[in-house]
């Protein structure tokens, strides 16, 4: 027996090498029926390389088309294509294979079979014409595809393809259109006749095909024009419009219809753009009408007209003043403003004169109500920077302010731009000076220039300039101690907005801002300290972390019920960031665990967990919180228990109970996966859950506990409706029967 096996292996090796080395098509044809697929693949590959020389084995190749292996089938099909007209014997089987035979790669089989049939040539034409009427959509598609590849159609062939323009399958209809295009002039008269079909689908297909061959479809132009006038189906009408534009029907005739389509569905609106994209003369003809549509009562039509103008690019620059005028006077809806603004940006730098002219009529204060101007300039800035730089020469205050705000971030020093901007640092309008400081934060400045700009900005009498300078400090090349000094000093400003910006700036310094805690605390006293300011200071203390321990009494006092919920929640979040250093606050936090709004209870639990981080003290509190009526409160508690892992084993029963609760189920299962329950009875309870994920987890845990008590329940799980649960149950049973592995 051993000797026979060795001989078999030796013979297999010889046949494999033989297939790779021999060029004899007869030998290779015999190997196509070899028992091993590797041998059949190699033989098919070698035959494919032989091309027409493989003609003697056409019959063997036809049999190989029924091979279960995809590679053998593909190579056999391509070999028949290479053989060409001498492979006529294969026509019936290729027609059959062109139907896909319910194969998972049916489309690919149809494509390759059609190619082989087209390569065989005229002998395959009768069978292909008959296949145009086949019940199988893949076979109809393949027949149309093959005939298109062959060309030179007979009238009967053209007629058969035209019939497929009304096929039930869209893929077949699209292929019929492509085949009609491939037939070229031979199909024009039939397509022209199809424009009068009773079926809107056929009319649309005929129009699509004519559009794709404008060089030979000129005789159908008048027919397309007349079909447009009588068409009532919107999809067919859009196809006819597209075809008419491609064939050169005069733009004045088409323009009203294109404009009308702008008020149709989204699909027709998209088709409108494609039509205009292919015809510059038609686009010019519809521009005035699109400008009028910007005032339409219908919001969707207004926005589409704006988007269409934007997508037309600089061709629509003449309509830009109308877009600017609408934005200036105010639009009915916010979405209108976004669409009009985007249109201006897409039209491009050519709209800058209209924008700058508009800016000249404003004041810097008015820019706050006309934010779209700066936003539009910002969108254009990367493409129009030289024009914007030139606009800064002796500009009106509003122009300077708008351009400065719109300048993009510079990665390299631009000395010429610096030279143009610097004079505005002494402009009499504070908003212009603030815009200068803001613009310099986006430029690559040398340290000395930074020093000058920020010193002047921080000393400016106008609050808006100082606010801009404080914002700039975060990116300024100043030592942290100097930034701290500037910001601490700004806390004494008379203006509330300056103090607010300074407090937020200190937060960005993190623990390095600790020396400013006394000043921050003092700034929260008195009637001038608004709730918003106190909340900003509280948030800043949180950003400092444990370094803000000096503020602990203030934070505890902010938990008083007399304070607003916003202040109390902010204080709790900050105490959480102080962590263990805030243990003094636990007495005030405890009552809030089950009092007040869900937001307060949730923040109180987060603070408690961050401060009291020992599991033995924390878990009882979290277990109690699992009873909270709000799922918003329970969710972070469940996640917190999961983060404790096996330390939270005592919480497993409560979490199993929560699996039955829809809002808590996913989080509870995630937590249980981290905790990894060790109790067999608890896992058996979980196995009875209605949730498949819970049953999957139960099977996994039971398999790792090796307790034979679980065997009956796991055997029952082998009948679970879900295969992944059945598979995991089977694995668990195998584990239990095998027992735990012994460590060596």
User: Which tens digits make up the pLDDT trace of 487-512?
Assistant: 999 998 888 999 999 999 999 999 99
CB count in 10 Å sphere of residue 326: 18
Q: Cα separation of 352 and 185, whole Å?
A: 49
Q: How does pLDDT run across 384-442, given as a tens digit for each residue? A: 889 988 999 888 999 999 999 998 888 888 888 889 998 998 999 999 999 999 998 88
pLDDT at 14 over 50: no
Q: How does pLDDT run across 205-250, given as a tens digit for each residue? A: 999 999 999 999 999 999 999 998 998 888 898 889 889 888 988 8
Q: Do 180 and 191 form a contact (C-beta atoms < 8 A)?
A: yes
pLDDT at 350 over 80: yes
Read off φ and ψ for residue 216, nearest 5 degrees: -115, -5
pLDDT of residue 17: 45
Q: Do 589 and 619 form a contact (C-beta atoms < 8 A)?
A: no
pLDDT of residue 11: 38
CB count in 10 Å sphere of residue 711: 14
Which comes out higher in pLDDT, residue 584 or 263? 584
102: pLDDT confidence band, cut at 50, 70 and 90? low
Q: Cα separation of 301 and 272, whole Å?
A: 13
5: pLDDT confidence band, cut at 50, 70 and 90? very low
CA separation, residue 536 to residues 19, 169, 400, 520 (Å): 80, 63, 32, 10
461: pLDDT confidence band, cut at 50, 70 and 90? very high
pLDDT of residue 269: 66
pLDDT of residue 21: 56
pLDDT at 468 over 70: yes
Please state which of the ranges 448-452, 681-685, 691-695 shows the lowest mean pLDDT.
448-452
pLDDT of residue 18: 45
Q: Do 480 and 509 form a contact (C-beta atoms < 8 A)?
A: yes
CB count in 10 Å sphere of residue 624: 14
Read off φ and ψ for residue 691, nearest 5 degrees: -90, 130
CB count in 10 Å sphere of residue 538: 27
Q: How does pLDDT run across 287-314, given as a tens digit for each residue? A: 888 888 888 888 888 888 888 888 888 9
pLDDT at 574 over 90: yes
Please state which of the ranges 19-28, 83-92, 250-259, 414-423 shows the lowest mean pLDDT.
19-28
pLDDT at 196 over 70: yes
The pLDDT of 655-678, averaged and rounded, is: 94
Q: Cα separation of 465 and 493, whole Å?
A: 13
pLDDT of residue 304: 85
> Which are the contacts of 563, defined by CB distance < 8 A and separation ≥ 6?
571
Which comes out higher in pLDDT, residue 2 or 521? 521
pLDDT of residue 695: 95
pLDDT of residue 9: 39
Q: Cα separation of 494 and 492, whole Å?
A: 7
pLDDT at 10 over 50: no
CA separation, residue 678 to residues 433, 655, 672, 708 (Å): 68, 14, 11, 14
The pLDDT of 128-138, averaged and rounded, is: 93
Taken in order 447, 452, 455, 457, the sign of the CA dihedral is negative
pLDDT at 2 over 70: no
Q: How does pLDDT run across 634-664, given as a tens digit for each residue? A: 999 999 899 999 999 999 999 999 999 999 9
148: pLDDT confidence band, cut at 50, 70 and 90? very high
Q: Do 194 and 159 form a contact (C-beta atoms < 8 A)?
A: no
Q: Do 547 and 514 form a contact (C-beta atoms < 8 A)?
A: yes
> Which are the contacts of 43, defined by CB distance < 8 A and separation ≥ 6?
19, 28, 29, 31, 32, 34
476: pLDDT confidence band, cut at 50, 70 and 90? confident
pLDDT at 611 over 60: yes
The pLDDT of 1-13, averaged and rounded, is: 39
Please state which of the ranges 260-269, 304-313, 598-607 shows the lowest mean pLDDT.
260-269
The pLDDT of 112-126, averaged and rounded, is: 95
pLDDT at 265 over 70: no
Helix (H) / strand (E) containing 517: helix 517-523
Percentage with pLDDT > 70 across the chain: 95
CA separation, residue 82 to residues 10, 43, 120, 127, 149 (Å): 33, 15, 9, 20, 15
Q: Cα separation of 694 and 684, whole Å?
A: 11
SS3 22: coil
Residues in the chain: 744
């Amino acid at each position: 027996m051993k000797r026979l096996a060795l001989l078999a292996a030796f013979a297999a090796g010889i046949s494999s090498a033989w297939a790779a080395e021999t060029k004899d098509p007869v030998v290779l044809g015999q190997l196509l029926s070899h028992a091993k697929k590797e041998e059949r693949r190699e033989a098919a590959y070698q035959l494919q390389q032989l091309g027409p020389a493989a003609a003697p084995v056409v019959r063997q190749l036809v049999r190989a088309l029924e091979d279960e292996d995809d590679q053998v089938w593909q190579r056999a099909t391509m070999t028949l294509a290479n053989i060409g007209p001498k492979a006529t014997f294969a026509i019936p089987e290729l027609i059959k294979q062109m139907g896909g035979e319910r194969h998972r790669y049916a489309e690919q089989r149809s494509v390759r079979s059609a190619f082989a049939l087209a390569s065989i040539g005229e002998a395959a034409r009768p069978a292909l014409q008959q296949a145009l009427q086949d019940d199988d959509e893949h076979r109809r598609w393949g027949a149309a595809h093959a005939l298109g590849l062959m060309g030179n159609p007979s009238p009967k062939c053209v007629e058969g393809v035209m019939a497929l323009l009304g096929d039930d399958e869209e893929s077949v209809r699209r292929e019929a259109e492509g085949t009609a295009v491939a037939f070229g002039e031979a199909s024009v008269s039939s397509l022209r006749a199809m424009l009068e079909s009773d079926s809107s689908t056929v009319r649309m297909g005929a129009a699509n095909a004519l559009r794709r061959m404008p060089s030979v479809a000129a005789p159908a132009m008048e027919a397309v024009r007349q079909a447009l006038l009588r068409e009532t189906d919107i999809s067919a009408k859009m196809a006819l419009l597209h075809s008419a534009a491609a064939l050169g029907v005069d733009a004045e005739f088409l323009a009203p219809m294109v404009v009308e389509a702008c008020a149709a569905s989204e699909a027709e609106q998209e088709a409108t753009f494609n039509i205009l994209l292919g015809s510059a003369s038609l686009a010019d003809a519809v521009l005035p009408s699109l400008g009028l549509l910007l005032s339409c009562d219908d919001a969707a039509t207004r926005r589409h007209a704006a988007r269409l103008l934007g997508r037309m690019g600089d061709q629509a620059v003449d309509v830009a003043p109308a877009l600017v005028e609408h934005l200036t006077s105010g639009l009915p809806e916010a979405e209108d403003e976004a669409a009009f603004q985007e249109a201006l940006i897409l039209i491009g730098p050519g709209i800058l004169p209209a924008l700058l002219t508009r800016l000249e009529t404003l004041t810097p204060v008015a820019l706050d109500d006309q934010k779209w101007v700066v936003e539009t300039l910002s969108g254009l800035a990367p493409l129009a920077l030289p024009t914007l730089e030139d606009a800064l020469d002796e500009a009106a205050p509003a122009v300077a302010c708008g351009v400065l705000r719109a300048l993009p971030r510079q990665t390299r020093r631009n000395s010429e731009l610096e030279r143009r901007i610097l004079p505005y640092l002494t402009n009499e309008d504070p908003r212009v000076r603030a815009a200068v400081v803001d613009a310099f934060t986006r430029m690559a400045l040398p340290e000395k220039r930074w020093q000058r700009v920020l010193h002047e900005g921080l000393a400016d009498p106008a609050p808006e300039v100082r606010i801009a300078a404080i914002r700039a400090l975060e990116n300024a090349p100043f030592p942290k101690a100097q930034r701290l000094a500037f910001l601490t000093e700004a806390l004494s400003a008379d203006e509330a907005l300056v103090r607010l910006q300074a407090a937020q700036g200190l937060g960005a310094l993190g623990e390095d801002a600790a020396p400013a805690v006394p000043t921050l605390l003092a700034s929260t006293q008195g009637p001038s300290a608004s709730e918003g300011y106190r909340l900003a200071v509280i948030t800043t203390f949180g950003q400092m972390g444990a370094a803000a321990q000096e503020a602990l009494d203030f934070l505890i006092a902010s938990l008083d019920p007399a304070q607003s919920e916003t202040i109390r929640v902010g204080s709790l979040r900050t105490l959480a960031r102080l962590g263990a250093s805030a243990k003094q606050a636990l007495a005030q936090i405890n009552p809030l665990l089950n009092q007040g709004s869900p937001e307060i209870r949730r923040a109180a639990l987060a603070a408690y967990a961050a401060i009291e981080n020992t599991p033995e003290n924390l878990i009882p509190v979290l277990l109690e919180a699992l009873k909270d009526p709000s799922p918003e409160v329970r969710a972070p508690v469940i996640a917190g228990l999961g983060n404790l892992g096996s330390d939270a084993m005592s919480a497993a029963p409560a979490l199993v109970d929560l699996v039955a609760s829809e809002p808590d189920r996913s989080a509870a299962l995630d937590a249980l996966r981290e905790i990894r329950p060790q109790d067999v009875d608890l896992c058996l309870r979980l196995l009875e859950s209605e949730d498949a994920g819970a049953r999957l987890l139960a099977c996994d845990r039971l398999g790792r506990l090796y307790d034979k008590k679980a065997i009956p329940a796991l055997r029952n799980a082998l009948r679970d409706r879900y295969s992944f649960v059945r598979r995991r149950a089977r694995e668990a049973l195998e584990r239990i029967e095998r027992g735990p592995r012994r460590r060596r």
